[in-house]
Amino acid sequence: MEIWAHRGCSVKFPENTLPAFEAAMNISGLTGIELDVQLSKDEVPVVIHDEKIDRTTNRIGFVKDLSFTDLKEIGNIPSLEEVLNLLAPKLKEGLLLNIELKTSVFPYQGIEEKVVELVDKFEVADSIIYSSFNSESTKKILKLRPNAKAAALGKTGLDCLNDANFNIHCSAVHPYIRSMNIDKFALDNLDLCVRVWTKDLFYPHGYLPIKHNLVKLESKGITGIFVNDPERYLEEKKNGIL
């Protein structure tokens, strides 16, 4: 079972921040890290999940209406360039990075070009997986970089499979953990990684995070999971608990 750090080590550190990513990149046995990208008002690719800054800072407003300097000062929100600069050495050693483009609410004209150019700059393209709830965005990535790896991201397993079969040439599907709705028989006949995403609590509210049964998930054909506390799962795996 692949273990991925969902927005970094986001139980111990604020999600999608450099400390959360630095903690994750140093965990032995971690498959990869997941993060979210939007554009600031001055069109800098920034790493933050919500379209608004309300939940993760003490201010209110939309990411798209604030400059990168403002976002940095308000909530220590990093640029994608800063994150790639941090992670590049580990990515070149085999760590994977899932970049989710947050384009389903605001299209962020040009975000795809800016993201792939940054990935090329750091020479880590082989370690990147692209995903988005907006399949048009994923398709654009693949048009720009035909050899890129993509995953169909959706709320249900069937949504992901529909995208995988009809909209996106991808190597993985990323459905919500509680909405798999795909028979293992079907998955056994597909050459796809099946990684589920979760809605667990984040820092500072995740001190008692949900524990997912990886053995049960594997029996359903799931090959990977995005969790907020990857260090716990990998420590238990190391100790033979999982």
Which residue reads 């609590």 in tokens? 201
Question: Residue 130 is encoded by which pair of tokens?
Answer: 């692209």
Catalytic residue flag (residue 169): no
Other residues' Cβ atoms within 10 Å of the Cβ of residue 208: 8
Question: Would residue 9 be called left, alpha or beta, if left means φ above 0 and alpha means ψ between -120 and 50 degrees?
Answer: beta
Catalytic residue flag (residue 49): yes
**Residues near 174 by beta carbon (within 8 Å), at least 6 away in sequence:** 98, 131, 151, 152, 153, 154, 160, 195, 196, 197, 226
**What CA–CA distance (Å, rounded) separates 136 from 107?**
10
Q: How far is CA 128 from CA 91, 177, 186, 227, in A?
A: 8, 22, 27, 18
Catalytic residues: 6, 49
